[in-house]
Amino acid sequence: MKVAIVGGGLAGIAAAYTLLGDPSVTEVHLLEAEGGYGGRASTDTTSIPGFAFDMGAQYIQDPTLNPLTQIAKDLGFETVEEDADYKLRVGDDGTWEDVDTTDPEVLAVVQGIQASYNLAKTQPNVVVAAKPRFDTQVEMFGHATSPYGPFTESAETWQYLAADRAREGAGDGAENLFVKRGIGTLVSAYGQLLPGLYKERYKARFGTRVTSITHSDSSVTVSYANGSVAVDACIVTVPVSVLASGAISFDPPLPAAYKNALKALRLGSYKKLALQLRVAPADIVPGTNYYLIQDEPEGVWQYYRLPHAPMVLMAHAAGDFAAALDRMADKDVFALFKASIEEAYDNGVYFTNGKAITNWSDDPSAGGAYSYTAFIGGGPNDPDALKARNDLGVPLDKLHFAGEATNLKYYGTLQAAYFEGVRAAKA
């Protein structure tokens, strides 16, 4: 049996390992649009010397459940537990202070979102919570720190279905693990072992953007700019935003259930910045995550220093705020954050020239950060959107789709991508 895999992220890598573990699979062809393995798990090791800037996945989540924990051990990658605290950086008439995220007024907003979610999750087609006016700091902080907010989902509470989130697995409760050399570096290293382990049966083509897939109940032909490969089956692991854009055409066209799934499954926005510090700011304690409000464009920054890299200030934005930042020039985003942080610390934060930034929205191989199930119309009991993850995971002839977006329990994570790659390969 010959199999093609479209996409070289962790789902594609896991699928390749699973297929090649079966001697009846005679050939595996992996086609990746970019120059190497990893997909949205990508580490920038050059922009800030000595620092691994994880542009996508930030850490190994649920380490006792996540296959990457053992992979990191096997490949000799050192990990560090997150063990984070959380604070709000609150300004009032030029005076700034750190406030606990359990501030009663903020907590009331968080609890209101929780109550809304508890009701909404009982029906298949209801968003988590209505859009607030955001006319107070309290509302903005509450939505940012809520476990249903954009830093968790990459989408706003009024954009995604509560019933989708309700299916999510509980996790293991263990601390997340940072990978010192970068989680993208780890995923890439795991993929790079494949050619040496399976020399005769495995071929990877990088810089190869698939343009069309012809499929039937007996074969699949995968075409790209300079050629094609004919196989017995194909696993497509590219992000749902890429599929929805029509970047890959299908012959025959995808049936209605798949088109509906790609309408409901979208990638939210998540942006990261890293800035090298000139001196260590005493008021930004390593291991503490702070939240700071941005007035224009409106949103909330999350920022921190890592205990194992204290001379770098990391900043995150998510949801609609991140989408607005993605539409700005990089230099303007850096300037915006610097101005806000310097004001919040009385000009007591000083930077060098080292800096790094992401923009997944503009990446043609991604089109966003990670998946959420969007409200696409219909009544509260309309099942169409909620079926999307399951529908996309159903084999179509000899064509299979896999990735974090087809996983119900851990969508939006690297372990989901791994699990789905294995599932599709076994199928």
User: What average pLDDT score do residues 1-6 get?
Assistant: 98
Q: Which residue has the tokens 């923009």?
A: 359
What would the mean pLDDT of 274-293 be, rounded to a whole number?
A: 96
Q: Note every long-range contact of 418-422, with CB atoms under 8 Å and residues 24 or more positions apart, other chains counting.
A: 418/10, 418/11, 418/14, 418/66, 418/67, 418/68, 419/14, 420/11, 420/14, 420/237, 420/393, 421/10, 421/11, 421/12, 421/13, 421/14, 421/15, 421/16, 421/18, 421/235, 421/237, 422/14, 422/15, 422/18
- Predicted confidence band at 115 (pLDDT cuts at 50, 70, 90)? very high
Q: What is the pLDDT of residue 348?
A: 85
Decide if pLDDT at 94 tops 90. no
* Of 159, 96, 176, 95, the residue nearest 321 (C-alpha): 159
pLDDT tens, position by position, 353-386? 999 999 999 999 999 999 999 999 999 999 999 9
Nearest to 138 by CA among 176, 114, 112: 112
pLDDT tens-place string over residues 157-206? 999 999 999 999 999 999 999 999 999 999 999 999 999 999 999 999 99
Percent pLDDT > 70 in the chain is 100
Q: At what angle do helices 183-192 and 10-20 cross, to 10 degrees?
A: 30
- Helix H or strand E encompassing 3: strand 2-6
Task: Give the separation between CA 85 and CA 408, rounded to whole angstroms.
Answer: 29
Please give the pLDDT value at position 92.
Answer: 85
Give the CA dihedral 167, 113, 321, 178, nearest 10 degrees: -50
Q: What is the pLDDT of residue 270?
A: 98
Calculate mean pLDDT across residues 79-95.
Answer: 93
Return the pLDDT at 346: 87
Please report, rounded to a whole number, the percentage of residues in the chain having pLDDT higher than 90: 97
DSSP state of 246: T
pLDDT at 213: 98
Inform me whether the pLDDT recorded for 347 exceeds 80: no
Handedness of CA 426, 212, 269, 205 (dihedral sign): positive
292-336: pLDDT as tens digits: 999 999 999 999 999 999 999 999 999 999 999 999 999 999 999
